[in-house]
Amino acid sequence: MSEHAPVIIAFCGKGGAGKTSICALAIKYLINYNKKILAIDADPAGGLSWALGVIPSKTLDDLRQDLVAALKNKDIAGNEELYAMAQYELLAGLVENKGFDFLSVGRPEAEGCFCSINAFLRNCIGKLISHYDFVCIDGEAGLEQVNRRVLETVTHLVIVSDTSKRSIAIAHNLLNMAQQRTQTMHCAVIINKVGDSSCEVSNLPVIGTLPVSETIARFDSTGTSLLKIADTDAYYTKLTGIIGDLLKQLVPDNV
């Protein structure tokens, strides 16, 4: 078990800005430090599983549906049996890899109220993450789905934006919403895919900028895991400097 409370980093932003790639490469960076890492794909599109080269056999949504069915069919006598089933199935859905474990949230919820089940699962996930040093979450555009379906508390929110006006506007909105949430300890912005165009980033806590990566485009086109990107790749090298500086400022004992 980790001796420290885990650092929980959620990567959010407009679709297509590159948050999934940055999340995957941040995981690659952390693997080099021999830390216990849990990667959570909280985007229904499932992009992080592709970026990490992981194929989950069961998702959190599958577990949610199993719990609902067990309750409906009265296969579970009480909360103790429900908890035991949830813990067992959660561990069964965990994919163990070299350097990190992986959990997929899966597709959006079906119609109906899952508030009590979601709260129960968040509690189970909260106990699970105590075994890790870092939890990296590839979220949807905003933090709301992460808080509702995965974890109530995020220690670091990294907002990824490209240089488009819409993406920057979304980054501002995400930052404003996050700053109203006391459980978010630190917010930062990465401007990705910077080319010849410029953008207005005043009032955003930008911690770094990244260029367009031909390597990522090539890996994506062939379905190759981003973990196989060379350590000497220019894009990856610049990203490790950004992520490294961020974590050393906030958790100097961990990296």
Tell me if 91 sits within 8 A of 60, measured CB to CB: no
- Calculate the CA 178 to chain-centre distance: 16
Pairing status of strand 100-104 against strand 95-97: antiparallel
Q: Residue 112 above 60 pLDDT?
A: no
* pLDDT at 144 (0 to 100): 64
Residue with tokens 């990667």: 39
pTM: 0.87
Percent of the chain with pLDDT over 90: 42
Angle at 13 between CA 10 and CA 17, to 5 degrees: 120
Rounded distance between C-alpha atoms, residue 174 and residue 206, angstroms: 13
Tokens of 121: 């699962």
* pLDDT at 235 (0 to 100): 97
- Calculate the CA 217 to chain-centre distance: 21
- For 223-237, what is each residue's pLDDT tens digit? 999 999 999 999 999
Which of 28-37, 49-58, 123-132 has the weakest average pLDDT? 123-132
Rounded distance between C-alpha atoms, residue 17 and residue 140, angstroms: 12
- Burial profile 28-65: b = 16 or more Cβ within 10 angstroms, e = fewer: bbbbeeebbbbbbbbbbebbbbbbbebebebbbbbbbb
- For 181-237, what is each residue's pLDDT tens digit? 655 568 899 999 997 666 778 889 999 999 999 999 999 999 999 999 999 999 999
Average pLDDT over every residue of 105-125: 66
- For 152-174, what is each residue's pLDDT tens digit? 678 888 999 999 999 999 999 88
Rounded distance between C-alpha atoms, residue 238 and residue 142, angstroms: 25
Rounded distance between C-alpha atoms, residue 250 and residue 255, angstroms: 10
The topology under which CATH files domain 7-249 is Rossmann fold (3.40.50)
Listing DSSP states for 70-103 in one string gives HHHTT---SHHHHHHHHHHHHHHTPEEETTEEEE
Average pLDDT over every residue of 114-138: 80
Measured between alpha carbons, how far is residue 41 from residues 35, 57, 59, 79, 195 in Å? 19, 13, 10, 27, 28
- For 68-111, what is each residue's pLDDT tens digit? 777 777 777 667 777 777 777 788 788 999 899 999 887 655 55
- Calculate the CA 116 to chain-centre distance: 23
- Most confidently modeled range among 115-119, 127-131, 199-203, 210-214: 210-214
- Burial profile 220-243: b = 16 or more Cβ within 10 angstroms, e = fewer: beeebebbebeeebebbeebbebb
